[in-house]
């Protein structure tokens, strides 16, 4: 708990005021990633491999952009920095530990952007959500990665939607925002790589599946090149009686 508190405190002054309420989610992810490093290793490696496979053969490697860069454990940051002139990392929060690690590694071609990628506020204002419209302002963009972000957009939107007064938001808010992200990536004028979990299963100690929700709320993906399991909550993490295993895909 002391390490988490210190990381939180160190991140606050580096984070935009409107995003500070999200720091605890990033710190919690950092903490769980440390506890579950062995169980998450395969997922992280497969995610990194998907990115390197997706960028193979690119003729121009000027700017690469990573949406949902997070802890960088699932992003092949070394390969990106070696291959591209500029690497832009976009997320709601960039933890102090990530900033320090990048500095110590000497990745001078990395740029950090704090941004809400959900599109929720646009939809709430009655506008068509275009959460990735800013991609058009990134010069010489040759490669975009969405790194284990899409389902998180859905989960965050679902929490906000359920806290709203009835009728304040469209009934299909979550689906609209997930589709806005997917379609914007598909329309991007450069090569893209989408990595996301699409569902999860709650499995008891006897192997019985108790839940299996669709994390993309009906939105389907094309060009899926790989899929694998990610034990997000192994036995003992949330309960001694069950584990939570996510289904992950990579599309590029």
Question: Cα–Cα distances in Å, from 49 out to 57, 69, 81, 85, 124?
Answer: 14, 15, 15, 20, 37
Q: What are the φ/ψ torsions at residue 193 (nearest 5 degrees)?
A: -140, 120
* pLDDT, position 130: 96
Domain range spanning residue 12? 2-251
Name the pLDDT band for 211 (thresholds 50, 70, 90).
Answer: confident
CA distances from 36 to 124, 218, 230, 231 (A): 37, 30, 11, 9
Nearest to 15 by CA among 147, 100, 115: 115
Distance CA 1, CA 3 (A): 5
pLDDT tops 90 at residue 208: yes
Q: Give the residues across from 145 on adjacent strands.
A: 66, 193
> What are 33-82's pLDDT values in tens digits?
999 999 999 999 999 999 999 999 999 999 999 999 999 999 999 999 99
Q: For residues 95-114, give the mean pLDDT.
A: 98
For the entire predicted model, the pTM comes to: 0.95
Give the bridge partners for 195, in sequence order: 147, 250
How many Cβ atoms sit within 10 Å of the Cβ of residue 130? 14
Q: Within a 10 A sphere around the Cβ of 105, how many other Cβ atoms? A: 12
pLDDT value of residue 143: 98
The answer to whether the beta carbons of residues 87 and 80 sit under 8 Å apart is: yes
Q: What is the DSSP letter of 136?
A: G
Mean pLDDT for 106-119 is 97
CATH number, residue 139: 3.40.50
Predicted pLDDT at 140: 97
Q: Looking at the predicted structure, is the pLDDT value of residue 182 above 90?
A: yes
Domain count, the chain: 1
Closest CA to 101 of 62, 75, 64: 75
User: Which three-class secondary structure state does DSSP give residue 230?
Assistant: strand
Contact status, residue 62 vs residue 88, Cβ threshold 8 Å = no
């Amino acid at each position: 708990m002391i390490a988490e508190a210190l990381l939180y405190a160190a991140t606050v002054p580096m984070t935009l005021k409107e995003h500070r309420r999200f720091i605890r989610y990033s710190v919690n992810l950092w903490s769980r990633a440390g506890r579950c490093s062995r169980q998450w290793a395969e997922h992280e490696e497969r995610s990194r491999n998907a990115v390197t496979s997706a960028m193979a053969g690119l003729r121009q490697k000027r700017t690469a952009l990573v949406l949902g860069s997070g802890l960088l454990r699932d992003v092949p940051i070394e390969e990106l920095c070696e291959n591209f002139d500029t690497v832009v990392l976009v997320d709601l929060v960039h933890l102090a530990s990530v900033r320090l690690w990048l500095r110590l590694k000497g990745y001078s071609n990395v740029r950090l952007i704090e941004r809400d990628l959900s599109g929720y506020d646009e939809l709430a204002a009655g506008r068509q959500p275009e959460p990735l419209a800013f991609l058009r302002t990134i010069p010489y963009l040759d490669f975009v990665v969405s790194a284990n972000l899409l389902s998180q957009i859905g989960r965050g939107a679902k929490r906000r939607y359920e806290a709203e007064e009835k009728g304040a938001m469209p009934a299909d808010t979550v689906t609209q925002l997930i589709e806005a992200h997917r379609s914007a990536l598909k329309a991007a004028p450069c090569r893209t790589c989408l990595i996301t979990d699409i569902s999860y299963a709650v499995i008891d100690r006897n192997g019985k599946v108790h839940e299996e929700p669709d994390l993309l709320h009906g939105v389907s993906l094309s060009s899926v090149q790989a899929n694998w399991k990610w034990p997000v909550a192994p036995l003992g993490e949330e309960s001694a009686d069950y584990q939570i295993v996510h289904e992950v895909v990579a599309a590029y």
